[in-house]
Structure 1
Amino acid sequence: MWLRPADWYHPAVDAVVEAVLAGRDPSAAAERLGEVRGGAGVGISEAIEDLACLYRSTGAVEPPLAVVRALCEGWSSAQGGALLMGSCLDPESGLPTRDYLVTRLGETYGTAEREDTFAQLTHCLVLVDVAAAEVSPWTRMARSAAVGAALRNAYGPGHPMATLGGGLFAVLVERDPELGPGIAVARLEITHQAEQLEVTDLLRQPPRIWTEQLPRTHERAVQLLAEISR
């Protein structure tokens, strides 16, 4: 179901529909639609599901991978311009990439040093592993979109987080009383978003979520991210 019905129509919708019904390649129109959706603040999961509904209405099982990728790239472009200047967003999940998290970690270590403490005492990583089995590119995109939306809902827009590939995600959080409740909310959001996109069977049940202590130095933290990325 479209979460905000008043936001649904845009001329870009017509372009996609016309291309699909005429049997033309709708990739360019889908990319434009992704830009429009991203610019309007529509989530990537909602945008993908809308595209999937169009294809299902024509009798197709799912949209072609190239069309979904074009939609994601358009959405990412719009989000990147607003949030990260277009350089560090993963088009599948809508989350920042590892490089962005490395930068935020550097800021965290710098702040800790200025305050005469250690980042490993003030912060930690929450790691989320939803990988259950090998998945097709289309289902991987849907799974990533679900988890991306869930983590943004749980921790808020702009919170330091990243996709590490292969169904693994990381969130940089403070070691405070909200750590445990935050993980609980993230778990609930993942379940909810997976149900919304009908990808529950593609996720590890239950998702594996745990905390990882930060190393003593930023350099070692960068190595840690590289080691656990997939």
Structure 2
Amino acid sequence: MTVREAGSRSHRGDADGTARALRRLRARWRTASIAAGWRFPSDWGLPEVDAVCSSAVLRCDLSDSLAGLGRARAASGAGLEETLTDLAALHAVLTHDQEHGGLIATDPDAAPTPMVRAAALAWADESCGELRNAETVESLTSLSTHAYLRTRLGEVYRRSRRAQVPVARTHALLVVTLDLSAVTGWARLMAMVLVADVLREVFDGGESVALLGPSVAVVLAERDPAFGERALNAGWLITERLAVDPQMATGRRPWLRVEQLPDTEDGARTLLHGLSRA
């Protein structure tokens, strides 16, 4: 009996040690990546990041998890240069003695070719795949995609030009942003699923509801007297539903704001790109 109990404690101790190692690696990698130039800290953490950390801590082959990360970075709007800089930060962390404090210097050219190849090819494949398969709906949340929203905006701007009425007078863009920097794993995705459910429930009159990034959703709606009330209602419902699950309760209310649409369609596309990385 004594032997079994000791083995059980050892197993739990190993599991706790692995969990601590995963958290340390993730935190050090994020810090190094931001220091190296990652522009939007709120969209750095993805489930694929945790998969890479798990492979590294367990000393498994990183190829598959890095490929998954490359695809996820492309899907979330991160450019190839930024993705490879993030990869260089990971390599710096993995090869730097964690017993020494301070920031870790990242060398963009130091990452081994197999690491770069796995992530870069997957990034390119995902980017080209988006062009080949321009889906209108994002699979997990069932919200419209970034590409579809651009198409809808084009229709709105063409109608505006014909009517000679500025788009900013007829339509509004409601932006919903969650701070998921403290949320890890699949809980990040489930938080956005809840946001999607609320937005579809509140804006059910033909508005375009789209997912722009890992933590950003938007609603393209006509400006009408009830728009402000619906926006406030959406904010309260999102907060209430996220609070039910401790893993998704960030302690911060979702940030809802109305963005004024620019005068031109090109300006609107630029705005969407910026919002997708917010």
- Report the TM-score when normalising by structure 2: 0.48
**Contact (CA 8 Å) 2:243, 2:249: kept in 1 or not?**
no
1-structure distance, mates of 2:139, 2:247: 18
* Structure 2 match to 1:93: 141
Q: Deviations over 1:64-104 (max 9, x none)?
A: xx9xxxxxxxxxxxxxxxxxx98122223221111111111
Is 1:227 matched with 2:274?
A: yes
* Structure 1 match to 2:111: none
Is 1:153 matched with 2:201?
A: yes
Letter in 1 for 2:255: R
Aligned-residue offset at 1:213: 0.4
* Structure 1 match to 2:101: none
Cα pair distance change 1:216/1:176, threshold 3 Å: same
Letter in 1 for 2:178: V
Aligned-residue offset at 1:195: 4.2
Which has the higher mean CA deviation after the structures are superposed, 170-179 or 98-107? Answer: 170-179
Aligned-residue offset at 1:167: 1.0
Is 1:171 matched with 2:219?
A: yes
Cα pair distance change 1:195/1:94, threshold 3 Å: farther
Higher strand content, 1 or 2: 1
Aligned-residue offset at 1:193: 3.0
**Structure 1: 5+ residue stretches without partners:** 1-65, 67-84
Cα pair distance change 1:199/1:93, threshold 3 Å: farther
Matched-pair identity in %: 32
**Contact (CA 8 Å) 1:151, 1:189: kept in 2 or not?**
no
2-structure distance, mates of 1:136, 1:205: 16
Is 1:110 matched with 2:155?
A: no
Letter in 2 for 1:127: V
* Structure 1 match to 2:255: 208
Write out aligned runs for 1:70-89 (5 A): 87-89=135-137
Larger radius of gyration: 2
**Contact (CA 8 Å) 2:188, 2:248: kept in 1 or not?**
no
1-structure distance, mates of 2:248, 2:239: 7
Count of residue correspondences: 146
Aligned-residue offset at 1:111: 1.4
**Structure 2: 5+ residue stretches without partners:** 1-67, 69-132
Write out aligned runs for 1:133-144 (5 A): 133-144=181-192
Aligned-residue offset at 1:110: 1.4
Q: Deviations over 1:100-132 (max 9, x none)?
A: 111111111111122121111111211111124
